[in-house]
Amino acid sequence: MERFKRADPELNNMPRYEDISHVDQRTAELSRARQSLLEEIEAIMFYDERASATKDETLKAVMEHNRDDEKEHFSLLLEWLRRNDPELERELRENLFSKKPMENLGD
Ligand SMILES: [Fe+2]
């Protein structure tokens, strides 16, 4: 994909959609965190599928342990984003841990 071809040492070769010279520092930091969040979700998926697929019970336990570590990484990034993206914080407060039925959440 085109977005993976650009390399910028300022953002450690992070994929992006705009030229770095057009992006302010706050947006760049949010992009770092959001890209990392995507990578943690991807890692959770990899480990979960591999744990499911392996026939080796010891390897399965390692994969499950690693998968759950990635969930911690995900939650730390989400917390950073919550603290740095007021609109995201508002949405999380409205929807996370709600007792409402799923069909009643959101606008
Ligand atoms: Fe991780």
Confidence grade of residue 21 (pLDDT, cut at 50, 70, 90): confident
pTM (predicted TM-score):
0.82
How remote is the CA of residue 56 from the centroid of ligand 1, in Å?
A: 23
Q: Is residue 51 pLDDT above 80, yes or no? A: yes
The alpha carbon of 63 and the centre of ligand 1 are apart by a number of angstroms equal to: 13
Task: Using the mean position of ligand 1's atoms as its centre, give its distance from the Cα of residue 42 in Å.
Answer: 9
Q: Report the 10 Å Cβ neighbour count for 70.
A: 19
Q: How far is CA 58 from CA 61, 63, 70, 83, in A?
A: 5, 9, 19, 38
Whole-angstrom distance, CA of residue 53 vs CA of residue 66: 15
Span from the CA of 39 to the centroid of ligand 1 (angstroms): 7
Hey, what amino acid is at 40? E
Q: How far is the CA of 50 from the centre of ligand 1 (A)?
A: 16
| pLDDT in the model for residue 17 | 79
Distance 21 CA to ligand 1 centre (A): 29
Asked if residue 83 has pLDDT above 50, the reply is yes
How many angstroms does the Cα of residue 69 sit away from the middle of ligand 1?
Answer: 7
Query: Can you tell me the distance from the alpha carbon of 49 to that of 35, in angstroms, rounded to the nearest whole number?
Result: 21
Please tell me the distance between residue 70's alpha carbon and the centre of ligand 1 in angstroms.
4
